[in-house]
Amino acid sequence: MRFEDWEPHYTAILEYFGFEREADEEAARVLADLAGGRDDIALLEALIRGRTVTVCGNAPSLPAELDRIDGTVLAADAAAEVLAGHGVRPDAVFTDLDGATDIFIDLSRQGTVMVVHAHGDNIPLLRHWVPRIPGPLVATTQAAPIPGVHNFGGFTDGDRAVFAARELGAADVRIIGFDLADRDVDPLKRGKLYWAGELLRMMGYDL
């Protein structure tokens, strides 16, 4: 998705939550510096283009849905740990690092692409985790892209993975482990789930 097409949605999200564009832009610059020129976007695209892709969210239903996995596996943040615990190594993990554990580092060593997202309130996490990632790395932002930092569209880890799969030419994108109606969450998370639902509906998914 071109940033010109994404920007109206991004602006609405900023206004909804009271987030600051400048903070997102600063986080993107920090991530670019930490990445140090590493950009494995070609590898990520090779895993996706022309293939069936399954995007795995971290809802409690995920373990019961693992038999629906097909093709390339994209994990939304902490879903990666659930998958690994069931013997499934995701091909890529889309994460803002708030669910990161040392399992992410182990997966990275095995070749999983870490698609790390920068936003205004995760700079300390970026500084902690990005230098420790030994394997393939792709950097993303929800603000305007800069050299080495991509914007495929999307807001939460899960819907960003769906946007990226579409943008990078997946033949089919399947979604498992998503529960956007979960009310047992705090107001901020509820707002994020609302926007994830809106963005996914925009792409034809009514979850």
Domain spans of the chain, in order of start: 3-202
| DSSP calls for 8-76 | HHHHHHHHHHT--HHHHHHHHHHHHHHHTT---HHHHHHHHTTSEEEEE--STTHHHHGGG--SEEEEE
Give me the pLDDT at residue 186, please.
86
Give the span between the Cα atoms of 119 and 141, in whole angstroms.
7
Instruction: With a cut of 70, list the residues of the chain below it in pLDDT.
Output: none
Give me the pLDDT at residue 184, please.
76
Report DSSP state, residue 130. Answer: G
Per the CB < 8 A criterion, the answer to whether 59 and 40 are in contact is: no
35: left (phi over 0), alpha (psi -120 to 50) or beta: alpha
| 82's tokens | 């659930």
Give me the pLDDT at residue 151, please.
98
Per the CB < 8 A criterion, the answer to whether 175 and 199 are in contact is: no
Contacts of 10 (CB under 8 A, 6+ apart): 142, 143
Give me the pLDDT at residue 129, please.
98
